[in-house]
Amino acid sequence: MKDMDENERIKEILKLLKKEYPKPTVALNFSNPLEMLIATILSTQATDVKVNEVTKDLFKKYKTARDYAEADRTELENDIRPTGFYRNKAKYLQEACKLIIEKFDGNVPDTMEGLISLPGVARKTANIVISNAFGKIEGIAVDTHVKRLSQRLGLTKNKNPDKIEQDLMAIIPKKEWFQFTYMIIDHGRKICHAKKPEHNKCVVRELCPSANI
C-alpha cells in the first residue's frame, strides 16, 4: 500500500472486490418499480431477509399505488409490522403512494428529482430504486454498510451519507457505481462486520488502513 498512489489503491480495491463478488445485486425481491420502492422503504432498520418475508404476502395483497394509498392504516401497519418502525413506514408508504397518484399518474417516477420528492425517500432509497427498477445510475446508495466500509477503507472522512456519496462519486468511475454499491454491501455482510471485522478473511486487508496487518 505504501508504494501505491490513491488512484492505484482504489483500482486494486475494485479489482479484488470484483473477483470476490463477481455478480453483486440487490437482495430485495421485486418485480416492478412500485415493489422496489416499497421494499426499499421497508428495508430501513430491517434485514433484507425479513423484508422479503413480509413482501411475499404484501405484494399479493397490494398491487397498485392506490391499493396502498387507500388501505386501512392499522391493517397496513400490521402487514408490515415485522420490519420494525411499522407506524412510520406505513405513513411513508401511504403518503408516497398518494403523491405518486396525484403527481405521477400512479407510476413510480424514474428520475432522482421525482423520487426524492416522495415522503420517506432520501438519496439512498432513490439510488436503489432508480438503478434496480429503471437501470439508471445516478449515484451510489450509501446504506449502513457502504458508510462503514467507505470510512474504514479511507475513501471518505465524512459521516453524512450525502457527503459520503459525493466523495465516492468523485473517486469511483461512474461505470463502477452500481457494482461498487453491492460489492461493498456484500463484503460488509460477509466479512467487514460492524463490531468485529474478519480481517484474516478480507481480500482487501493489505489495502485497508483499518486492517490489523
Show pLDDT as tens, one digit a residue, over the chain (213 residues). Answer: 556 799 999 999 999 999 999 999 999 999 999 999 999 999 999 999 999 999 999 999 999 999 999 999 999 999 999 999 999 999 999 999 999 999 999 999 999 999 999 999 999 999 999 999 999 999 999 999 999 999 999 999 999 999 999 999 999 999 999 999 999 999 999 999 999 999 999 999 999 999 865
pTM: 0.94
Set 3, 19, 67, 124: catalytic member:
124
Q: Clarify whether residues 42 and 99 are in a common domain.
A: yes
Ramachandran bin of 154, using left for φ above 0, alpha for ψ from -120 to 50, beta for the remaining angles: left
| Overall domain count for the chain | 2
Residue 130 domain-assigned (yes or no): yes
Q: Clarify whether residues 98 and 159 are in a common domain.
A: no
Residue 179: CATH number of its domain? 1.10.1670.10
Give the range of the structural domain holding residue 53, as residue numbers without chain letter: 33-134
Q: Clarify whether residues 109 and 190 are in a common domain.
A: no
- The alpha-helical segments, DSSP class H, found in 81-134 are 86-104, 112-116, 123-134
Residue 212 domain-assigned (yes or no): no
What pLDDT does residue 210 have?
93
Residue 51 domain-assigned (yes or no): yes
Residue 213 domain-assigned (yes or no): no
User: How far apart, in Å, are the Cα atoms of 142 and each of 33, 58, 160?
Assistant: 20, 26, 9
What cell was used for 173?
468511475
CB burial string 154-183: b at 16+ within 10 A, e below: bbbebeebeebbebbeeebeeebbbbbbbb
Q: Clarify whether residues 187 and 151 are in a common domain.
A: yes
Task: Count the Cβ atoms, other than its own, within 10 Å of residue 127.
Answer: 26
Q: Clarify whether residues 156 and 171 are in a common domain.
A: yes
DSSP symbol at 117: T
167-173 long-range contacts (CB < 8 A, ≥24 apart) are 168/140, 168/142, 169/139, 169/140, 171/6, 171/7, 171/10, 172/10, 172/14, 172/140
Q: Clarify whether residues 172 and 145 are in a common domain.
A: yes
Set 89, 143, 147, 186: catalytic member:
143
Q: Clarify whether residues 118 and 43 are in a common domain.
A: yes
Q: Clarify whether residues 157 and 130 are in a common domain.
A: no
Q: Clarify whether residues 128 and 144 are in a common domain.
A: no
Give the residue from 189, 201, 204, 199 showing the smallest Cα distance to 155: 204
What is the three-class DSSP state of 205?
A: helix
Domain-ending residue, one of 107, 134, 161? 134
Q: Clarify whether residues 18 and 69 are in a common domain.
A: no
Q: Which DSSP string do the residues of 182-203 spell out, in sequence order?
A: HHHHHHHHHT--SS---GGG-T
Question: Is 143 marked active-site?
Answer: yes
What pLDDT does residue 4 have?
79
Question: Is 124 marked active-site?
Answer: yes
Q: Clarify whether residues 144 and 130 are in a common domain.
A: no
What pLDDT does residue 2 have?
56
Q: Clarify whether residues 39 and 126 are in a common domain.
A: yes
Residue 1 domain-assigned (yes or no): no
Residue 181 domain-assigned (yes or no): yes
Residue 167 in contact with residue 142, Cβ under 8 Å?
A: no
Residue 48 domain-assigned (yes or no): yes
